[in-house]
């Protein structure tokens, strides 16, 4: 998180950001009585971590929907 411009200050000054919580070295945004995991902007082997997460989720969900039609 410290290399991400959006979350760097949250880590450094967590007490100033009341809508965020740090658990197990992960940052969560508190929103509507729910905690949402914050994903920093980082590259993994040249690919955005956001891209990789969406691609993996799409792959999993696409396979599940095929099973639903059987």
pLDDT digits (tens, 9 = 90+) for 32-60: 999 999 999 988 899 888 899 988 888 88
> Residue 68: what pLDDT?
56
Radius of gyration of the chain (CA): 16
Between CA 17 and CA 8 the distance in angstroms is 12
Global pTM reads: 0.72
Q: Which residues pair with 20 in a beta bridge?
A: 29
Spatial contact of 45 and 56, defined as CB atoms under 8 Å apart: no
The values of phi and psi at residue 52, to 5°, are -65, -40
- Domain limits, the chain: 1-38, 41-70
In the block, tokens 């902007």 appear at 41
């Amino acid at each position: 998180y410290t290399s991400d411009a959006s979350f760097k200050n949250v880590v450094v000054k967590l007490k100033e950001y009341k809508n965020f919580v740090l658990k197990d070295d992960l940052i969560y945004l508190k929103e509507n009585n729910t905690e949402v995991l914050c994903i920093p902007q980082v590259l993994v082997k040249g690919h955005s971590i956001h891209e990789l997460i969406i691609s993996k989720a799409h792959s999993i969900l696409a396979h599940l929907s095929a099973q639903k039609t059987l």
